[in-house]
Amino acid sequence: MKVYIGADHGGFKLKEELKVWLKELGHDMEDLGAFSFLPEDDFVDYAWPLALKVGGDEVARGILICRSGQGECIVANKAKGVRAVTAWNEKSAYAGRHDNDANVVCLPADYISLETAKKMIEIFLTTPFGTEERFRRRVGKVRNIDINL
């Protein structure tokens, strides 16, 4: 599975640390920026290209990192085919994947440690979408919204 990662200035340091870890694990990972620390950059400039890539690939996953995880989540969810969630702990990362078939996780760098981020990403990348009918029905309705846009 292809894994895309992106971050603005607020998530840049955490992104750089996570890239090393993801490579060590052997993931097919592509960094979509920022490529240097730019204190005045805007999360939109990294979230939107990542969302377009993930939304166009049924099996790809995305990781976005900013200070709160919220702005990038808003942007990512504008792209067709994207189901982005902000995760703040392991349980929320699990629920995003298992219950909602999320394909992008947005991390709040100001509120989590590197170790917590690693645990959440591991959960996000390995948890399958739940087989329960209610989850399938709900995500089906979300996909229908995409079709009608």
Q: Residue 132 pLDDT > 90, yes or no?
A: yes
With 0-12 / 13-18 / 19 or more C-beta atoms within 10 angstroms meaning exposed / middle / buried, residue 77 is middle
- pLDDT at residue 116 above 80? yes
When pLDDT is averaged across residues 134-141 and rounded to a whole number, the result is 96
Asked whether the predicted pLDDT for residue 144 surpasses 90, the reply is yes
Domain containing 65 — which CATH number? 3.40.1400.10
Question: What's the pLDDT at 66?
Answer: 98
> The pTM is what?
0.97
Give the pLDDT confidence score for residue 148 in this predicted structure.
79
Task: State which residues form the domain around 53.
Answer: 2-148
What DSSP character marks residue 130?
A: P
91-112 pLDDT, tens digit per residue, is 999 999 999 999 999 999 999 9
Q: What percent of the chain has pLDDT over 70?
A: 100
CA–CA gap between residue 29 and residue 46 (Å, rounded)? 15
Rounded Cα distance between 97 and 105, Å, is: 9
Number of domains within the chain = 1
CA nearest neighbour of 28 among 58, 61, 51 = 61
- Tell me, what's the pLDDT at 1? 92
Residues marked as catalytic: 66
Structural contact between residues 7 and 62, judged by C-beta atoms closer than 8 angstroms? no
Q: What is the pLDDT of residue 146?
A: 87
